[in-house]
Structure 1
Amino acid sequence: MYEQRVETVMRNLGQRGLSRLLVCDPRSIQYLTGVYVEPGERFLGLVLAPDAAPTLVLNALFSAPADAACDVRSFTDTDDPLSLVAELVDTQEPLGCDKNLPARFLLPLMERGAAARFVLASDAVDDARAHKDEAERAAMRAASATNDAAMGRFRELVHEGITEAEVAGQLEGIYRELGAQGHSFAPIVSFGANAADPHHEPDGTRLAPGDVVLFDVGCRQNEYCADMTRTFVFGEPTPKQREVHDTVRRANEAARALVRPGARFCDIDRAARQVIEDAGYGPYFTHRLGHQIGLDVHEPGDVSATHDAPVEPGMCFSIEPGIYLPGEFGVRIEDLVLVTEDGCEVLNSYPREIDTVG
């Protein structure tokens, strides 16, 4: 599996006129080797070069499993890890660099002339990660199934007077009971007018009758991320709440219906946005329609008006239209879709119709 992934990245590099790459993003290193390390301020790098095994330059504080799909070059806190990198690359060849390579390491490498030139080339890995293999697809399905199950539990936490922060504080325990490792991102729990802020952080706001209740939540399971949003109402929905919720649901459906190989990301975004504009709420849909997802909850490649590339089999991304009315309420409905050979598989099955809680 890892060997095939490295071969794909090396092929992508070749198409960019490069033969060597320094990967520093921990999740990309995990994707290529099976080794996951969060190095903090210490150097971490994987060198890919032709006719050589991937070589991980790793601080001795950390360890790689015996079956890691790479060679390991260890260094201590008093060693210079960049000298190891310099030994592994060719001063006569350009070096592809990771977008996450910190300047405190990149600039010294440049100053010592470790390569002929330095080229931003992490898209060679990003493109490979965007096309999920069968093992990854299974992991994404499992994480989303857990997220569906968790949403049913989360809504039961809601009652009059409870705060957003009190609800948010109980979510991780439920995820762990269901077999997940924890959150894939900090959960968003929004009541009432707070739901008009798409990235609201849960606070001491107490739930009151008539409030909308928005959950934007995701778990990490077997290292892969889930992400889903549902919006409920505490009590009987008002006609306006019903109208807005129905508009967002139809926008979600219109976008999902368009997802298949060859459809452009920008056209998928347009399908959802058109529904919201036709209902008169266009100015209140204030963000892109979605993002790609996998080992990271947000991966390169968004679903937006400016991304005109076609979707391809194996890609997995969110569809999350929303309407946000400042001072009133907001509604977002988000699902993950996996592009298949002839269409798409929707990874979330939790109901999208308006529903009450409490």
Structure 2
Amino acid sequence: MTPFAPHVYADRRRRAAEQAARAGLDGILVTPGPDMTYFLGYTSDTAAERLTLLVVPAAGTVSESAPDGITEALAVVPRLEAHDLERNAVGPVEVLAWSDGDDEHAAAGRQMRAGGRYAISDSAWALHVLALQRSLPGTSYEPFTLALPMLRAVKSSEEIARLAAAGAGADAVFAEIVQRPFAGRRESDVAAELDALLREHGHEQVDFTLVCAGANGADPHHDAGPTLIHEGDLVVLDFGGLADGYGSDTTRTVHVGEPTVEEREVHDVVRAAQQAGFEAVRPGAACQDVDRAARRVIDDAGYGEHFIHRTGHGIGLTTHEPPYMVEGEGLPIEAGMCFSVEPGIYLPGRFGVRIEDIVVAFPEDAPQGARRLNESPRELVVVG
């Protein structure tokens, strides 16, 4: 992905150090993957069994001599990777290189406080977490999702611009795919076209192209396979990936030929639920309020038992990340949060309907609520 300016990464590390201090942590431990990309603009290619770890101390343990006020962070990396990190990380970062045969976990532990409490990337290997525990007995670790759920949840204007571009690319894909034939083709054929179109419209990575025809639509995560699409099928299309490092994720349900009265009714209920979830994004709302608003519409229509998943998830450097729009999630929605609103109804053995948009909370052009980053038709589209 195109890196941001150096000060962006420095500011992210500074804000993370402040959040860690407020959460009573001694620091954060960042492992390769989206978290490291977020803080360094760098993605490690070294085998994951070799420890690569960015140690960011909590505010209050930051050296006053850090240049330009940058939060002092230390990257513990294999020697074979040190040059690559120093060349490709955006902005200054201190590097501690270790060689094969060294005790790299002990080396990392010397940068931490014995008995301290640290947040660590959700994707950290158990191999490394357990080895750090052995090196620093009494030190505790919590996943970012629990300890610092807001760490990457609030997006900057630059991040939102990338998410908007990814969403526009996904909308363009939908506009093209509905002009192509569905009847008589396999789900996998349509999925392959979605993959190619996403790449044509700016995606460097395609994460999923779900094509769920007829009864397969009642399985929210059905993988596109050899099923033939027939006249009369409802088809759920859920697709997305990364464009310039940021995610797209949209779902539309189309019908091959004219739908029945019942199929239109179910689609209309889901569309109303999706609108209700979108409108629930307002100052003072909690994440669970979005789920409650969408679910209420489906419950009232008599389909409550057939809405079998949460209403939404955050999106950013990955297509699924905090916050989650689900009952029990009391986190307040903040300006700059980006997440999906995607209710659905799934009738086993018959069909399913889902409609999904990515929305951004409280942008300047919609100060009282949210703005959609997907604008393809939410009405039931008839395809051939």
Normalising by structure 2, report the TM-score.
0.87
Gap change, CA 1:290 and 1:92, over 3 Å in 2: closer
Q: For 2:194, which of 146, 171, 187 is the aligned residue?
A: 171
Residue 191, structure 1, aligned to residue 213, structure 2: yes
Partner of 1:346: 372
Q: In the TM superposition, what is the alpha-carbon distance from 1:116 to its structure 2 partner?
A: 4.9
Alignment match, 1:5: 12
Change (3 A) 1:182 1:119: closer
Match of 2:346 among 312, 324, 341: 324
- Once the two structures are superposed, the pairs formed by residues 1-358 of structure 1 within 5 Å of their partners are 1-24=8-31, 26-38=33-45, 39-49=47-57, 50-51=61-62, 53-62=72-81, 63-64=84-85, 65-69=87-91, 70-91=93-114, 93-113=116-136, 116-120=138-142, 122-123=144-145, 126-183=149-206, 185-340=207-362, 341-358=367-384
Secondary structure of the corresponding residue to residue 179 of structure 2: helix
2:22 maps to a residue whose letter is Q
Q: Note the alpha carbon deviations across 1:256-285, whole angstroms, 9 max, x for none.
A: 112123112222211111111111111111
In structure 1, distance between residues paired with 2:228 and 2:101: 52
In structure 1, the residue corresponding to 2:150 is in which secondary structure?
helix
CA contact (8 A) 2:36 2:54 kept: yes
How far does residue 18 in structure 1 lie from its aligned partner after superposition? 2.2
CA distance in 2, matches of 1:312, 1:170: 37
Which residue pairs with 2:66 in the alignment?
A: none
Amino acid at match of 2:237: F
CA contact (8 A) 1:315 1:338 kept: yes
C-alpha separation in 1, matches of 2:227 and 2:80: 43
SS in 2 for 1:201: coil
CA RMSD between the two structures? 1.9
SS in 2 for 1:99: coil
Q: CA deviation at 1:99?
A: 3.3
Preserved contact between residue 274 and residue 341 of structure 2 (Cα < 8 Å): yes
Q: Is the 8 A contact 1:265 1:308 kept in 2?
A: yes
SS in 2 for 1:199: coil
> Percentage identity across aligned positions?
37
Unmatched tracts of structure 1, length 5 or more: none
In structure 1, what is the Cα distance between the partners aligned to 2:77 and 2:148? 20
Shift of 1:333: 0.3
Q: Does structure 1 conserve the Cα–Cα contact (< 8 Å) formed by 2:166 and 2:203?
A: yes
Aligned partner letter, 1:251: A
C-alpha contact (below 8 Å) 1:168/1:188 kept by paired residues: yes
Farther-moved stretch of structure 1 (117-126 vs 204-213):
117-126
Contact 2:37 2:43 in 1 (8 A): yes
Aligned partner letter, 2:48? G
The superposition leaves residues 149-180 of structure 1 with CA deviations (integer Å, 9 ceiling, x where unpaired) of 11112223433221011221232221221122
Deviation, 1:207, is: 0.8
One-letter amino acid matched to 2:112: V
**Do the aligned partners of 1:260 and 1:312 also contact (CA within 8 Å) in 2?**
no
SS at match of 2:110: helix
**Deviations 1:108-166 (Å, cap 9, x if unpaired)?**
222222x6522315245541200101111111111101111111122234332210112
Normalising by the residue count of structure 1, what TM-score does the alignment of the two structures yield? Answer: 0.93
